């Protein structure tokens, strides 16, 4: 076996570091019975490293490239051009050239070859670098092949390849390149086969794109391909395109385009029989690799040749079904307004807290709603719960119901109260409209949290790991006692009743938004206003403000007392952290860094408040909202009394307003209490992690985040851990972070997308769900990371989702647009309380709306116009 040359049959999947992803996959393909792979060999990474390893100029340029940002296109292009020129000027070392020449003699020196790049960071399970390096077709002669090997080496530094590595966090110095030299096939037809539908993600539907001639015409977008869909060995759909051009081999090497005759242009490139035969090969290859594949193929004569196969890295993982039946999964992430991937400890903790039957996939949780879809009563329940909070989910539910995808349950089970575990007041005594109830519930919860703080101090090791699940159950009993859920449901019902009936009686939409401003007991909206009070303490001290503007020290609080006014500032921030320090972005994941762990994250928000507001703004905002709500109530009651039966309508409306205002604020409290416990549990677990680091069981404290709670318990007990598993899970988490979770998917992997169905909207309007009434115009600030927020008063916040940690930003904005959300999710509740027009569940909002654009948000009818 030569260090520089490996024949395909000598290669397997373990050799990525020697032959790159493409080369390793070709070696594996050769091992699959019945799969024809054109013969060839790989020029290994050892050859590339030998040729370039000691080149000082090259390495200096690589250092320069590593310092650039992925969006610095001009400098990337300039440096890459220098790197390519440098590599192409390096002669192929004599021993490498000899090895290539000898291998060509064995295969046929005068035959034509494809010369392809195969990078060590290419076609991996975690990232597809397809098309990032170059391919050269129909190359003949040893000299020409050696020349194109050098060009392949240089193509490791095309602008697109270097930029992609910068985006993916792959170090340039650590990437090597192998070159695949493969005998050319001159096919009648070629194309690409996906063993999972690339449009719907359905794993049971295989998709074939095909066109006449070489596949480069299709890959480069030169022609429209024929497309065939195959399921269970049957062609279930076909789209035959009009094909005008094909790419064929040129006599003197290389390729050229040529027109397709009129008689052939609209003919299918494959028969159904050929498509089915190809699909069988696809399923065989998929089974060998163990995941859905993106396969390049060609047809010459009666033989299908496979020239490449790589994993499809963009598919969202499917939750593991408990059986072979059809299942439908709804996203918990969308309901919780936190669509980021969660680490294993975060997932397992959330499951312990919720005690719900959920299935992890892609670092998120999904709930199986199949049993609801199996009965008419269950369908009604799910439409009125999940569907009511999110129109896109409702439309997706309707789509799946129309298909009969889920088998109906036997007739005798249809009277079972499907979904009875969901919170509802139906059939229960009316909730007493007593404003003292929320205050009592909050007191009980606070007492429970104080008791937890005391009790956990005495626990460590396995005793701690046994204590936490027990305490979670006790906390749940306090936090979710019957009255807690009853008053939340009563508030939500009252809000919906007001919106529905006032629109029906008076023709006014979304009145609950104004009526719910500045309600009592809303710990989240209070959090935003109290940060304005912190700004009031700091504003009079220019020395403190200047210090905060330049500090990057995570321990900045310790430095404040040395400044004039610093002690007051320190006390104000510390008091705020004592009350709200358990919060952070994505707070339902216990592994996320809390504000109290990184107080520096609050500094930009405090500075924004100092810059944008006058003293006393927090009190004024609350009082203004309260007065607007009272004025709106008075106005509505007067208008209702003028209607037939107006006195009765007004009395009923007043009762609903009272119930909503008494109870709606409490809806934000259970989550606040939950994350308060989270911080206490987390601090105790990190103490255990310190012990594990000292015992050399783990390398750093944060490694415990990549273990489930039960796994962590076992590690604490045994003091043993496979650190390779931690590394693997870290890599897996990086992949999950890049995925976008679907609202709904089936056990076949199909993503069911809902659509808005509305007429009479302005041309070009972007549609979402109206959750807080009003129409406002302003500058769009597209912010994906709260730490990057630089808002001015009057801006409109456009983001993927908001959770309670975003609330301090709400005091500065005058409108809200999010990609995720519903009528009662956090952003909607706080937007209404602050009187901000808001539209949520607007798919791709952060891509369709550009930062800095002037937009109009219609929170009454649920759309945005770009002005």
| Active site residue ranges | 826
DSSP 92: P
The percent helix, strand, coil of the chain (3-state, each to 5) is 50, 15, 35
| The two structure tokens encoding residue 192 | 């690409």
Q: Give the residue among 55, 79, 87, 62 at the shortest CA–CA distance from 159.
A: 79
Contact call for residues 357 and 841 (beta carbons, < 8 A): no
Beta-carbon contacts of residue 77 (< 8 Å; ≥ 6 apart): 159
Contact call for residues 747 and 323 (beta carbons, < 8 A): no
In whole angstroms, give the CA distance from residue 92 to residue 181: 15
Beta-carbon contacts of residue 257 (< 8 Å; ≥ 6 apart): 217, 222, 245, 246, 247, 248
| The two structure tokens encoding residue 539 | 């504003």
In whole angstroms, give the CA distance from residue 645 to residue 784: 50
Q: Give the residue among 210, 213, 212, 223 at the shortest CA–CA distance from 186.
A: 213
In 89-109, which positions are buried (b, 16+ CB within 10 angstroms) versus exposed (e)?
Answer: eeebeeebbebbeebbeeeee
In whole angstroms, give the CA distance from residue 612 to residue 506: 38
In whole angstroms, give the CA distance from residue 797 to residue 859: 13
In whole angstroms, give the CA distance from residue 158 to residue 113: 22
Q: Give the residue among 673, 530, 679, 674 at the shortest CA–CA distance from 594.
A: 679
Contact call for residues 304 and 36 (beta carbons, < 8 A): yes
Beta-carbon contacts of residue 735 (< 8 Å; ≥ 6 apart): 125, 126, 127, 313
Beta-carbon contacts of residue 40 (< 8 Å; ≥ 6 apart): 7, 8, 26, 107, 113, 114, 180, 181, 182, 183
Contact call for residues 217 and 193 (beta carbons, < 8 A): no
């Amino acid at each position: 076996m030569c260090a520089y040359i490996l024949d395909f049959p000598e290669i397997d999947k373990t050799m990525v570091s020697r032959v790159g992803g493409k080369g390793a996959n070709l070696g594996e393909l050769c091992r699959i019975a019945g799969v024809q792979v054109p013969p060839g060999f790989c020029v290994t990474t050892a050859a590339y490293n030998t040729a370039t390893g000691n080149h000082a100029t090259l390495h200096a340029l690589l250092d320069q490239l590593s310092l650039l940002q992925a969006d610095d296109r001009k400098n990337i292009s300039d440096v890459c051009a220098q790197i390519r020129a440098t590599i192409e000027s390096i002669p192929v070392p004599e021993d490498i050239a000899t090895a290539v020449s000898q291998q060509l003699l064995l295969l046929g020196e005068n035959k034509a070859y494809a010369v392809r790049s195969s990078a060590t960071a290419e076609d991996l399970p975690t990232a597809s670098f397809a098309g990032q390096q170059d391919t050269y077709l129909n190359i003949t002669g040893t000299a020409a092949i050696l020349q194109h090997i050098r060009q392949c080496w240089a193509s490791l530094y095309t602008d697109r390849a270097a930029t992609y590595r910068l985006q993916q966090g792959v170090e340039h110095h650590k990437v090597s390149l192998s070159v695949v030299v493969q005998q050319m096939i001159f096919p009648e037809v070629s194309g690409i086969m996906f063993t999972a539908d690339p449009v719907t993600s359905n794993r049971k539907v295989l998709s074939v794109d095909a066109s006449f001639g070489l596949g480069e015409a299709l890959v480069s977008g030169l022609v429209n391909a024929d497309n065939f869909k195959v399921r269970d060995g049957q062609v279930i759909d076909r789209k035959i395109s009009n094909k005008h051009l094909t790419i064929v081999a040129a006599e003197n090497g290389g390729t050229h385009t040529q027109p397709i005759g009129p008689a052939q242009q609209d003919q299918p490139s494959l028969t159904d029989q050929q498509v089915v035969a190809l699909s069988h090969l696809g399923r065989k290859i998929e089974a060998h690799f163990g995941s859905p594949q993106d396969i390049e193929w060609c047809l010459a004569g009666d033989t299908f040749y496979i020239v490449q196969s790589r994993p499809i890295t963009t598919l969202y993982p499917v939750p593991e079904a408990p059986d072979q039946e059809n299942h439908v999964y709804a996203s918990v992430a969308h309901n919780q307004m936190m669509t980021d991937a969660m680490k294993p400890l975060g997932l397992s903790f959330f499951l312990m807290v919720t005690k719900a039957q959920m299935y992890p996939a892609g670092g998120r949780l999904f709930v199986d709603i199949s049993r609801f879809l199996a009965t008419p009563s269950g369908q009604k329940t799910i439409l009125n719960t999940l569907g009511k909070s999110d129109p896109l989910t409702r439309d997706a539910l309707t789509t799946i119901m129309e298909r009969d995808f889920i088998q109906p349950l036997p007739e005798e089970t249809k009277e079972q109260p499907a979904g009875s575990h969901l919170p509802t007041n139906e059939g229960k005594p009316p909730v007493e409209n007593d404003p003292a109830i929320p205050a009592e519930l909050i007191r009980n919860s606070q007492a429970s949290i104080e008791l937890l703080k005391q009790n956990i101090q005495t626990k460590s090791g396995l005793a701690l790991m046994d204590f936490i699940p027990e305490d979670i159950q006790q906390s749940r009993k306090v936090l979710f006692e019957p009255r807690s859920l009853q008053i939340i449901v009563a508030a939500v019902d009252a809000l919906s009743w007001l919106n529905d009936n006032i629109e029906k009686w008076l023709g006014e939409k979304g009145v609950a938004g104004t009526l719910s401003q500045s309600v009592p007991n809303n710990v989240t909206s209070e959090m935003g206003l109290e940060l304005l009070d912190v700004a009031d303490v700091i504003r009079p001290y220019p020395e403190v403000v200047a210090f905060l503007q330049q500090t990057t020290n995570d321990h900045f609080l310790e430095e404040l007392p040395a400044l004039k006014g610093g002690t007051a500032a320190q006390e104000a921030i510390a008091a705020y952290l004592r009350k709200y320090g358990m919060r952070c972005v994505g707070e339902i994941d216990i592994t996320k860094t809390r504000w109290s762990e990184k107080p520096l994250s609050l500094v930009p928000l405090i500075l924004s408040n100092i810059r944008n507001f006058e003293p006393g703004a927090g009190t004024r905002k609350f009082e203004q909202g309260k007065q607007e709500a009272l004025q709106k109530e008075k106005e509505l009651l007067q208008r209702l009394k003028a209607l037939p039966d107006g006195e009765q309508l007004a009395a009923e409306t007043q009762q609903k307003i009272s119930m909503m205002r008494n109870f709606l604020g409490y809806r934000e409290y259970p989550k606040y209490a939950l994350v308060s416990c989270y911080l206490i549990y987390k601090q105790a677990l990190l103490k255990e992690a310190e012990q594990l680091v000292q015992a050399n069981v783990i390398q750093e404290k944060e490694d415990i985040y990549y273990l489930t709670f039960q796994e962590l318990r076992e590690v604490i007990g045994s003091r043993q851990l496979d650190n390779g598993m931690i590394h693997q899970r870290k890599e897996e988490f990086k992949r999950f972070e890049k995925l976008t979770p679907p609202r709904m998917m089936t056990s076949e992997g199909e993503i069911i997308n809902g659509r808005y169905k509305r007429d009479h909207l302005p041309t070009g309007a972007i549609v979402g769900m109206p959750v807080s009434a009003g129409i406002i115009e302003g500058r769009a600030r597209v912010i994906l990371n709260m730490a990057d927020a630089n808002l001015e008063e009057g801006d409109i916040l456009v983001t993927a989702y908001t959770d309670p940690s975003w609330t301090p930003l709400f005091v500065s904005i005058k409108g809200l647009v999010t990609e995720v959300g519903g009528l009662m999710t956090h952003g909607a509740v706080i937007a209404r309380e602050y009187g901000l027009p808001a539209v949520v569940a607007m798919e791709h909002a952060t891509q369709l709306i550009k930062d800095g654009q002037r937009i109009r948000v219609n929170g009454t009818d649920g759309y945005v116009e770009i002005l």
